[in-house]
Structure 1
Amino acid sequence: MNAPSGRAVTGAPSGPLRTVVCGTVFGRFYLEALRSFEPSFTLTGVLAGGSPRSRASAAEYGVPYYTRVEELPPDTQAACVVVRSAVAGGAGGELARALLARGVHVLQEQPAHPDEVAGCLRLAREHGVQYRLNSFYPHVEPVRRFLAGARALRELRTVRYVDGACSSQVLLPLLDILGRALGGLGPWAFADPAPVAEVRAATGVPVPFRLVHGVIAGVPLTLRVQNQLDPADPDNHAHLLHRVALGTDAGTLTLADTHGPVLWTPRLHVGRDADGRLALDGPGTGHLDQPTSSLLGTGRPEPFRRTFAELWPAGVRRALAELRAAVLAGGSADAQYTLTVSRMWQDLTTRLGRPELISGTHAPPVHPCELTVEPDVTLERV
């Protein structure tokens, strides 16, 4: 995929950015996002490796199909590179560099090695175009709700600790979520994970999560990472995507899951009366009327079907809107932030080591109604 002699159209766009999508696996969400994104973007093609699936995707969206960067029309202005990068054994970085050298703005799906990110940023500067690494999940509506709550909370209280959990496949987006929630990344540092070999040797029980302590934005972090992967089905068998809690002296803001809900849990504090007893009523106890936890906003967790059909494409549109804003502004203020997130991710993945290879099995779903059981009241009647 060498850069051709011809160059694509660059500069501030006067109309929608003519955009191609590279890759059609996770790229299907980018295609759906671009289906109707006028007047900001126009989907003008699919670039992929030649599989029947990719050709069928191009036909479904009514756009031309390409297999080489050199085949793209010279008026191509932007590209979504949704192909695995070199760290995952793919050619996403090579493809991004070829497009940037052609004068095409690039939005690349995470993750990417910091050297790859730095190289793309240099090429973007040289050719007067924009390069952005899309960590995807911070743009999904429930995470955005959590981040908005985090910004409001930081104005009221100091964040004392962060507790996070994720699967290794979405570790880079978690670091981006934490950076946005805390208003920055530095100072940051991570310790090596707590050892589990002795536990496994004594019991024979595999330990799915690795525990890491660290600091982000000067805030103590406790992080659990499911460092496991099914090589035959790498997109499945994660116990969770993201779970984050920001703790303050007033309470904890929690993103229960990537797709919500967002909860506020006030920290329990009960004063004492003149006799030293816990003051449960009377003057100064008005705060005890606050709910033990509250659901923030009106949003409720959506079915997976709607998440894939609407929430994820909407998240892609927000990432694309940021790309267009950078194009219109003629510069990007978050290049150093993006590079730092990638370096943090590299540090952590190096400390965690290669994921444990597992052979996952599909488990039948459990419906909430199966868990809605009244508690035992036998002793209450004694």
Structure 2
Amino acid sequence: MVVGTTFGAHYARALAGPYSPVELVGVAGTGGQAGRHLAAELGVRYLAGTDEIESAGAGLAVVAVRSAIVGGQGDEICRDLLGRGIPVLQELPVHSADVVRSARAAQRSGAAFAVTGFYEHLEPVRRFIAAARALDAVSPVTGVELRTSIQVLHASLGVLSRILTAPPGPDFAVHPAAATAKSLVSTDWGGVAVDVLVRNGYDARTPDDDCQPLMGFVLGTPDGELSLAHVHGPTRWEPRLHEEAPGRLRHPEQRLSHLFGPDHWTGDTVFPGLWAEGIARAVGGFAEAVSAGRRPLGQRDLAALRHWEAVSARLGRPADVPSVPPKLINIHDLEVCS
């Protein structure tokens, strides 16, 4: 069962599709037409509210409703479902205090509870995390540069917490950047210097419309840099150039830039393809944990959320930045080198 029909529509369509590890039995909303149309499109039952979820035969629920920290009822819905013994996977952002409350409700009822930032389950991000861990084992990461927007800062830090296994330190500095509505956040994350450039502004009328940049990472090591420019793109490894003598490189045979993974997603293929696979992976992993009796919520999730809360409080209220539809740029117009 998917609760919520805004971002929840992505979950519902993915779980009704060919990649789904579970059977979607229904969609729950507030009674609006959008939710009813979504359920009709997918051929599943529509529930106006969550009172009848048990009768719909749901073995677990995905709650993609705004949480209390962004003015929604998602946390209350989660604890109500957990109190009835229904396992819940909740879409972030969620305040860490509410995560703890829901985890305690889950413990009392014996139902599983977990949160998801979504992006950590996308294949390009998983590829980057795996490459970063492998790199760190042979060439320790000494610094991180992260570019992101305030709307997905929580998810960006969640991805970073899967690479830097130590928790972030309690102290950090915030400085205004030269660009409009941007700030630089610098911290020591378990001995690794982390600099986060955050775009702290959006159009209040359409807050989810303009997440530019979404999230991009550069990991520095003594031997080179590993980067992910975008969550839908490839990982890049760039070894550090070193001259043993003038004009003679230490490793002259190595490629100076190496890409891992495809870079072919378009606006009309990413949702039913890459995103649907990521959602299936997130829900499938949660369903496996439920079946095995494991508790999938970890301290890493809480540590990243608490750091996000502290940073967000220091950044202050996001600036109101009017959003305009982007122009379509012909890639061939950029190939002008002569």
Q: TM-score per shorter chain, which class?
A: over 0.9
Are 2:22 and 1:54 equivalent residues in the alignment?
no
Alignment of 1:78-117 (within 5 A): 78-117=60-99
Contact 1:109 1:136 in 2 (8 A): yes
Is 1:354 the counterpart of 2:336? The answer is no
Query: Which residue pairs with 2:48 in the alignment?
Result: 67
Aligned equivalent of 1:5: none
Alpha-carbon separation, structure 1, partners of 2:190 and 2:297: 16
**Matched residues in 2 for 1:134 and 1:187: separation?**
19
Q: Which moved more, 1:72-81 or 1:347-356?
A: 72-81
Q: How does 1:1-382 map to 2 (within 5 A)?
A: 20-36=1-17, 40-74=21-55, 75-182=57-164, 184-195=165-176, 207-272=180-245, 278-280=246-248, 285=249, 287-297=251-261, 299-332=262-295, 334-375=297-338
**1:3 aligned residue:** none
Residues 186 and 218 in structure 1, CA contact (< 8 A), matched pair in contact too: no
What letter is aligned with 1:222?
Answer: D
Cα shift at 1:37: 6.2
Kindly tell me: are residues 279 and 364 of structure 1, through their superposed partners in 2, closer, same or farther at Cα, counting changes over 3 Å?
Answer: closer
CA shift digits 1:123-142 (9 cap, x unpaired): 11111111111100010111
- The answer to whether the 8 A contact 1:209-1:226 is kept is yes
Asked whether the 8 Å contact 1:85–1:91 carries over to 2, the reply is yes
Partners of 2:234 and 2:129 in 1: how far apart?
A: 12
What is the identity percentage for the equivalent residue pairs of Structure 1 and Structure 2?
Answer: 36
Q: Is the 8 A contact 2:145 2:194 kept in 1?
A: yes
Q: TM-score, normalised by structure 2?
A: 0.95
* C-alpha deviation, 1:71, in angstroms: 2.2
Contact 1:121 1:335 in 2 (8 A): no
Deviations 1:354-381 (A, max 9, x none): 1111211112121211101123xxxxxx
Cα-to-partner distance string for 1:270-298 (whole Å, 9 max, x where unaligned) = 112xxxxx142xxxx4612222211124x
* Contact preservation (8 Å) 2:242, 2:250: no
Q: Is the 8 A contact 2:243 2:250 kept in 1?
A: no
Deviations 1:29-84 (A, max 9, x none): 11122114688411111110111111000111111111222122344221111111
Q: Is the 8 A contact 1:192 1:352 kept in 2?
A: no
Deviation at 1:329, TM superposition (A): 2.2
Secondary structure of the residue aligned to 2:66 is coil
Deviates more, 1:326-335 or 1:85-94: 326-335
Residues in 2 aligned to 1:195 and 1:286: alpha-carbon distance in whole angstroms? 40
Distance 1:333 1:156 in 2: 29
Indicate conservation of the 8 Å contact 1:263/1:296, yes or no. Answer: yes
**What CA distance in whole angstroms lies between the structure 2 residues aligned with 1:344 and 1:97?**
24
Cα contact 1:179–1:216 (8 A) shared by 2: no
Tell me by how many angstroms 1:190 deviates: 4.3
Tell me, what secondary structure is at the counterpart of 1:166?
Answer: strand
Instruction: Give, in whole Å, the separation in 2 of the partners of 1:269 and 1:58.
Output: 59
**Root mean square deviation, CA, Å:** 1.7
Are the equivalent residues in 2 in contact too, given 1:175–1:341 (CA < 8 A)? yes
The ranges of structure 1 where at least 4 consecutive aligned residues each deviate by more than 3 angstroms after the TM superposition are 36-40
What's the CA shift for 1:187?
A: 4.5
Give the conservation status (yes or no) of the 8 Å contact 1:82–1:92. yes
Q: CA deviation at 1:167?
A: 0.6
Letter in 2 for 1:107: L
Deviations 1:141-160 (A, max 9, x none): 11111111112101211111
Larger Rg: 1
Equivalent residues of 2:217, 2:227 under 8 A apart: yes
Asked whether the equivalents of residues 45 and 64 of structure 1 are also in contact (C-alpha less than 8 Å), the reply is: yes
Deviations 1:228-253 (A, max 9, x none): 02111111122210100111011000
Q: Distance in 2 between matches of 1:240 and 1:117?
A: 27
Residues 39 and 46 of structure 2 are in contact (CA less than 8 Å); yes or no, is this contact kept in structure 1?
A: yes
SS at match of 2:268: helix
1-structure distance, mates of 2:254, 2:330: 31
Question: CA separation of 1:39/1:228 partners in 2, compared to 1, >3 Å: closer, same or farther?
Answer: closer
Deviates further, 109-118 or 303-312: 303-312
Report the AA paired with residue 236 of structure 2.
L
Cα displacement (A) at 1:255: 0.4
